[in-house]
């Protein structure tokens, strides 16, 4: 049985003349009527979980959605789950599910970049493609997936790369694992080894994201220190930061609060090869952890999971 868990986002929106812009409007039934091809995926079970813009979902709401998805993967008869979701935080939600939910049952995230009021609404195609992937037996064991504009991406690698283009998602730290063309699912990569699931029980840990700029003196880092449990710093290039921010970084480390270094660039990773003052290598020598092959949003979630589970940030 295929379970579709409707959560909102642009795919549920249409233009509201009185408001002067796009607002949530369509529930699961309305989307099913707009995409009649979904009815071919019987048996089919639908659920209206939320109808929220993606940026309204707090860490607590993310965890609640993750918990519902985990429950569904254990429900007898459910062989695949499709989650229509707002694109702004779709990749983060997919990463959370990929890190914390048993991968046996595929959980396929999708959405749209255009509303039902716009020409060439991409929601119907993406929903149908996601259903096809979730029903495909070869998706089992792959855990969270993102299906968008014909691309199939691992939920641990997917990232939103464009603010408005319908082909908005890619895997800047990985690779595309398949495609859906003319209704046919084609896998280009076999399932690989997955990291052990994070054993957190919540997303209650508070993690800041700080972007040091040229001439930075660490003021924002110091302001955040008493209010947050950890921080992800977005350095230039390979993770280099202005030297004026180093004393503030050292204060975080002295307080026993983890500091993770990511790159603000969309591709590539922070590294330890630059050892000048403020270089990524000089920070690693002080005890800063590298984000690894993760986007800044993924690195923040990973640190939240590590803090909640009482573990170190994984390399």
pLDDT tens-digit map of 155-198: 999 999 999 999 999 999 999 999 999 999 999 988 878 899 99
Regarding whether 182 and 235 lie in a shared domain, the answer is: no
Is residue 193 a part of any domain in this protein?
A: no
Mean pLDDT across the stretch 12-41?
88
Q: State whether 12 and 146 are in the same domain.
A: yes
Structural domain contains residue 237: yes
Clarify whether residues 154 and 228 are in a common domain. no
Check whether 113 has a pLDDT greater than 90: yes
Do 46 and 159 lie in one domain? The reply is: yes
Output the pLDDT for position 127: 97
What pLDDT is recorded for position 173? 94
Q: Are residues 43 and 147 located together in one domain of the fold?
A: yes
Residue 193 CA to residue 173 CA, distance in Å, equals 16
The answer as to whether 42 is a domain residue is: yes
The answer to the question of residue 173 being in a domain is: yes
pTM of the model: 0.96
Using the predicted structure, report yes or no on whether residue 42 has a pLDDT greater than 90.
no
Residue 194 lies in a domain: no
The helix (run of H) or strand (run of E) holding residue 123 is: helix 123-135
pLDDT digits (tens, 9 = 90+) for 190-231: 887 889 999 999 999 999 999 999 999 999 999 999 999 999
Same domain, residue pair 213 and 163: no
Q: Please give the pLDDT value at position 252.
A: 98
Same domain, 100 and 70: yes
Residues assigned a catalytic role: 10
**pLDDT at residue 38 in the model:** 87
- Name the helix (H) or strand (E) containing 134: helix 123-135
What is the predicted pLDDT for the residue at 33?
Answer: 87
Which of 157, 187, 217 marks a domain boundary? 187
Q: In the structure encoding, which two tokens stand for residue 272, read together?
A: 């330890």
Number of structural domains the chain divides into:
2
> Do 109 and 220 lie in a common domain?
no
Contacts of 260 (CB under 8 A, 6+ apart): 230, 231, 232, 233, 288, 289, 290, 291, 299, 302, 303, 313
| In-domain check, residue 315 | no
By CB atoms closer than 10 A (0-12, 13-18, 19+), residue 38 is buried
**266 part of a folded domain:** yes
Q: Which range of residues forms the domain containing residue 240?
A: 207-309
Please tell me the predicted confidence (pLDDT) of residue 194: 87
């Amino acid at each position: 049985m295929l379970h579709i868990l409707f959560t909102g986002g642009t795919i549920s929106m249409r233009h509201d003349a009185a408001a002067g812009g796009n607002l949530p409007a369509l529930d699961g039934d309305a989307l099913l009527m707009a995409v009649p091809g979904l009815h071919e995926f019987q048996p089919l079970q639908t659920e209206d979980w939320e109808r929220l813009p993606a940026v309204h979902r707090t860490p607590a709401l993310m965890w609640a959605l993750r918990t519902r998805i985990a429950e569904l993967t254990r429900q007898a008869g459910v062989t695949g789950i499709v989650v229509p979701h707002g694109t702004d935080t779709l990749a983060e939600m997919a990463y959370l599910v990929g890190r914390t939910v048993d991968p046996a049952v595929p959980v396929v995230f999708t959405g749209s970049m255009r509303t039902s009021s716009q020409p060439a609404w991409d929601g119907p195609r993406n929903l149908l493609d996601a259903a096809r992937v979730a029903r495909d037996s070869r998706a089992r064991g792959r855990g969270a997936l993102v299906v968008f504009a014909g691309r199939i991406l691992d939920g641990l690698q997917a990232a939103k790369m464009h603010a408005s283009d319908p082909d908005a998602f890619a895997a800047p730290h990985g690779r595309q694992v398949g495609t859906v063309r003319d209704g046919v699912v084609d896998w280009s990569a076999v399932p690989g080894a997955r990291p052990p699931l994070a054993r957190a029980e919540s997303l209650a840990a508070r993690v800041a994201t700080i972007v040091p700029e040229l001439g930075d003196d660490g003021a924002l880092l110091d302001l955040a220190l008493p209010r947050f449990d950890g921080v992800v710093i977005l350095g230039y290039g390979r993770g280099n930061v202005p030297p004026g921010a180093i004393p503030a970084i050292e204060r975080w480390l002295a307080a026993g609060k983890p500091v993770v270094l990511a790159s603000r660039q969309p591709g590539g990773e922070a590294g330890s090869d630059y050892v000048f003052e403020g270089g990524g290598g000089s920070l690693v020598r002080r005890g800063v952890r590298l984000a690894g092959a993760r986007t800044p949003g993924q690195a923040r979630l990973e640190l939240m999971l590590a803090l909640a589970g009482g573990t170190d940030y994984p390399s």
